[in-house]
Amino acid sequence: MKNLLEDYPLYEVEKFNSFQEMLIQSYRKFPNKIALEDLNPTPINRVTFRELYEYVIRLGKALKKIGLKERTHIALIGENRVQWGISYLAITTFNYVVVPIDRNLKENEILTILHQSDAKAVIFSENYREIFLEHKKTIKGLDYYIDMDFETEDEGIYSMTEIINEQSFDENKDKFPSINPYELSSLIFTSGTMGSAKGVMLSQYNICSNIIDMRSMVELYPEDRFLSVLPIHHTYECTCGFLCPISAGCSIHYARSLKTVVEDIQKVKATILLGVPLLYEKVYKRISKAIEDDKFKSVMVPALKAAASFAENIGFDGLRKKIFKEIHKKFGGSIRIFIVGGAAPNPEVAKGLRSFGFNFIQGYGLTETSPILALNRLRKFKDDAAGIPLPSVQIKIENPDEDGRGEVIAKGPNVMLGYYKNPKATEEVLKDGWFYTGDYGYFDSDGFLHISGRKKNVIVTKTGKNIFPEEIEDYLKQSPFILECIVYAAKDENGDETIGTILVPNAEEFIEYSQKTGKEVTKELIEEILKKEVRNINNQLPIYKQIRVIKIQDQEFEKTTTQKIKRYLIKQEDTVH
């Protein structure tokens, strides 16, 4: 299988500095083409680009009519759906500030963000109605409540569909208000190191520059169909999976749930899927397991892969998709690109999916950078790299060590304005125009950025060596018996610092092992197998990186909505043995 490092030109992308310009461009080019579709039943289920533009105008006028003044902060919480997209665009194009809230947060966390964001209004789906009814009198300053699902105004809560329907639309007369694309437009609260929320301030120019850069590196077509599965409040999904396809005239289809992803891909014949590493790991494991369980396929597939590699080496490309068309049919038969972000994927999963003929690329970024900083391209990629810097972005390695590793810092039009009402936190990460990411990384000789891990997670040995837990975790996650893991600075029996790990066993794998061997799954068997797995991994690591302390727990780690483990919840006393 070829590792492509082809240098080829960037794609031409029509420029825009605001969501107003972006939406008008798409509406004029693709008026009758489908823009957004819900696969669940909802009040506004499906819209073309013309209808999307009309709904945005009418909702924007409605917000003004009920008394909301420009620059007011409006919170938005709900499932991935057409009305979320309409609300986001109406808020931002009518010169309000949108505050997207994670729908999976606990009630207390939602209320905290509403307070910290200075939101005066909230648009929400029916699932949150009871929360707002219960706390309506106690949330000071929050005066306007708009329900996406309710048909008529009730108990002081507006109906989104009702206030939209009350507004007229004149294609020739209705215009967007004047805005400043360099001002705050989106206020996103992201968890801090101790779980405290910081409000990231992004302008429309920040986000639009990021969209244009991404599209210049990876070409999108109006015929592309995105399946949306990741939480839409998150900048990764919002910028890359919502605004980016809207700008290119693609259609976006909102999955019913994570459990129905494969069925939904088949239904809409999706061409592009944005996911997190865990999603693709599950996909690859299912494919691999189906092959292993079939004696004929387990012999034939490696031979077919070898044949495809030989064909590619002599200039015949595109054979893998034909050879493995049965696998592609299970994903609708139209998948053009799997895109992964939110965390670093396992390179073996990337190579594995590509070996079946799927294009698989990853990017790297943070909420503070709108979010993408580096991206792999379809014909220029490395599976173990975050990517190459976007055209408008400068990336440097600050204070590199002997191996060229140091903190990744970035400068560009996509870098945030700062943290909301938090000048101290802003000064800590924004210095002379450079954003300090808090990630350690390095550039290789081909110009690809590699991320080693988070600065705050680094373990420093007595000899001054830096150990990145994420690198050791990548080794551990290759074991089928390990579902999840954390590597940390532990204490040995003498109280000296050493490398420790907490492992969550993969119950499914142990049950299968029991069925094959006839051995009963006991605590002792699990411990024996996991310790053997760790010994095998230690054999691949230098002595100073080897794991010396092992803890096993049944319960999975608590995670963020992008499936990152919340390391800050793992208390030190829980990890010292």
Note whether 467 and 446 are same-domain residues.
Answer: no
Note whether 446 and 315 are same-domain residues.
Answer: yes
Whether 9 is in a domain gets the answer no
Note whether 418 and 292 are same-domain residues.
Answer: yes
Supply the pLDDT for residue 202. Answer: 98
Which of 455, 471, 497 terminates a domain? The answer is 455
Please list the alpha-helical segments (H only) found in 124-274. 129-135, 160-165, 204-217, 235, 244-248, 261-268
Supply the pLDDT for residue 1. Answer: 54
- Lookup result for tokens 């799927």: 358
Q: Which two tokens stand for residue 268?
A: 């809409």
Whether 91 is in a domain gets the answer yes
Whether 129 is in a domain gets the answer yes
Note whether 284 and 387 are same-domain residues.
Answer: yes
CB-based contact 206:393 (threshold 8 Å) = no
What one-character DSSP code corresponds to residue 171? T
In sequence order, which residues have a C-beta less than 8 Å from that of residue 131 and are 6 or more positions away? 107, 110, 111
Whether 262 is in a domain gets the answer no
- Count how many domains the chain has: 3
Q: Which two tokens stand for residue 476?
A: 């551990």
- Lookup result for tokens 């100073």: 544
Note whether 569 and 504 are same-domain residues.
Answer: yes
Supply the pLDDT for residue 322. Answer: 86
CA–centroid distance for 364 within its chain: 10
Range of the domain at 524: 458-575
CB-based contact 189:116 (threshold 8 Å) = yes
- Lookup result for tokens 């009814």: 133
In sequence order, which residues have a C-beta less than 8 Å from that of residue 435 and are 6 or more positions away? 368, 369, 409, 410, 411, 415, 416, 429
CB-based contact 247:29 (threshold 8 Å) = no
Note whether 101 and 38 are same-domain residues.
Answer: yes
Whether 254 is in a domain gets the answer no
* CATH code (residue 482): 3.30.300.30
Supply the pLDDT for residue 192. Answer: 41
Q: 475-494 burial string, b = 16+ CB within 10 Å, else e?
A: bbbbbbbbbbbbbbbbbeee
In sequence order, which residues have a C-beta less than 8 Å from that of residue 519 and are 6 or more positions away? 513, 525
Length of the chain: 577
Which of 430, 455, 480 terminates a domain? The answer is 455
Note whether 288 and 398 are same-domain residues.
Answer: yes
Note whether 309 and 441 are same-domain residues.
Answer: yes
pLDDT tens over the chain, length 577 residues: 555 899 999 999 999 999 999 999 999 999 999 999 999 999 999 999 999 999 999 999 999 999 999 999 999 999 999 999 999 999 999 999 999 999 988 898 899 899 999 999 999 999 999 999 888 877 889 999 999 999 999 888 999 999 999 999 999 899 999 999 999 999 999 754 334 679 999 999 999 999 999 999 999 999 999 999 999 999 999 999 999 999 999 999 999 998 899 999 999 999 999 999 888 988 888 888 888 777 788 788 888 888 777 777 776 777 888 889 999 999 999 999 999 988 888 888 999 999 999 999 999 999 999 999 999 999 999 999 999 999 999 999 999 988 899 999 999 999 999 999 999 999 999 999 999 999 999 999 999 999 998 888 888 776 677 888 988 998 998 899 999 999 998 887 777 778 999 999 999 899 989 998 999 999 999 999 999 999 999 999 998 899 999 999 999 998 887 778 888 777 543 433 2
Note whether 173 and 296 are same-domain residues.
Answer: no
Per DSSP, the residues of 537-577 read: HHTTS-GGG---EEEE-SSPPPB-TT--B-GGGS-HHHH--
CB-based contact 376:6 (threshold 8 Å) = no
Note whether 451 and 500 are same-domain residues.
Answer: no
Q: Which two tokens stand for residue 351?
A: 């190579």
Q: How many Å apart are CA 56 and CA 92, to the nearest integer? A: 10
Whether 218 is in a domain gets the answer no
* CATH code (residue 363): 3.40.50.12780
Q: How many Å apart are CA 75 and CA 122, to the nearest integer? A: 4
Supply the pLDDT for residue 346. Answer: 85
Q: How wide is the angle at C-alpha 276 spanned by C-alphas 274 and 280, nearest 5°?
A: 90
Q: Which two tokens stand for residue 151?
A: 């048909």
Q: How many Å apart are CA 68 and CA 65, to the nearest integer? A: 7
Which of 179, 209, 240 terminates a domain? The answer is 179
Whether 469 is in a domain gets the answer yes
Q: How many Å apart are CA 56 and CA 177, to the nearest integer? A: 12
Note whether 467 and 451 are same-domain residues.
Answer: no
Supply the pLDDT for residue 191. Answer: 57
Helix (H) or strand (E) holding 302: helix 295-313
Whether 445 is in a domain gets the answer yes
Q: What is the pTM of this model?
A: 0.89
Note whether 37 and 94 are same-domain residues.
Answer: yes
